[in-house]
Amino acid sequence: MRAVLEYLYTGMFTSSPDLDDMKLIILANRLCLPHLVALTEQYTVTGLMEATQMMVDIDGDVLVFLELAQFHCAYQLADWCLHHICTNYNNVCRKFPRDMKAMSPENQEYFEKHRWPPVWYLKEEDHYQRARKEREKEDYLHLKRQPKRRWLFWNSPSSPSSPAASSASPSSSSALV
């Protein structure tokens, strides 16, 4: 590949649109070029993050990259893939249930331990939602059982016990003298 030759002669990694990230990682690993593997990992992660920001679904690609990266000693890419899958665990499991079950036992154990949201949170949220619905149902039934009260608003002129009438009384003015 051209990228490998360029790296061997110049020590630099230059990306190109026709570059296949995983093929380059595989070749660099076979040729024992860990620095090229690391540079390609960085390029791959940057591309995946840009795709995520542009709202492109990368979950399927991440699942494929994970096992290949682990097998070909691309540990930084593998760690990023594990982080992405754990962070988006529910979506990935919903979209790719067979692929998730086909993962290695070590990966499945990692997913269960580091998934987000964790199982305890989902149980607590479910309990809260059920309790809230039950409470709303009880409140509705309670309001339905209560008789409707009628409020009467009196529109009358000032009464003798109003504050304006008491201030003009003779007893209050004699107390001041």
The pLDDT value given to residue 145: 80
The pLDDT value given to residue 159: 54
The pLDDT value given to residue 147: 66
Cis peptide preceding 117, ω within 30 of 0 = yes
The pLDDT value given to residue 17: 84
Task: Give the model confidence (pLDDT) of 112-157 as tens digits.
Answer: 999 998 989 989 999 999 999 999 999 988 888 876 665 656 665 5
Higher pLDDT, 88 or 170: 88
Q: In the predicted model, is pLDDT for residue 18 greater than 60? A: yes
The pLDDT value given to residue 143: 83
The pLDDT value given to residue 65: 98
Query: Model-level pTM?
Result: 0.72
Higher pLDDT, 176 or 4: 4
Distance, in Å, from the CA atom of 107 to the CA atom of 166, rounded to the nearest integer, reads: 84
pLDDT band for position 86 (cuts 50, 70, 90): very high
The pLDDT value given to residue 155: 61
List the one residue out of 57, 56, 70, 84 whose CA is nearest residue 22. Answer: 70
The pLDDT value given to residue 163: 53
Distance, in Å, from the CA atom of 46 to the CA atom of 53, rounded to the nearest integer, reads: 11
List the one residue out of 51, 5, 60, 10 whose CA is nearest residue 27. Answer: 5
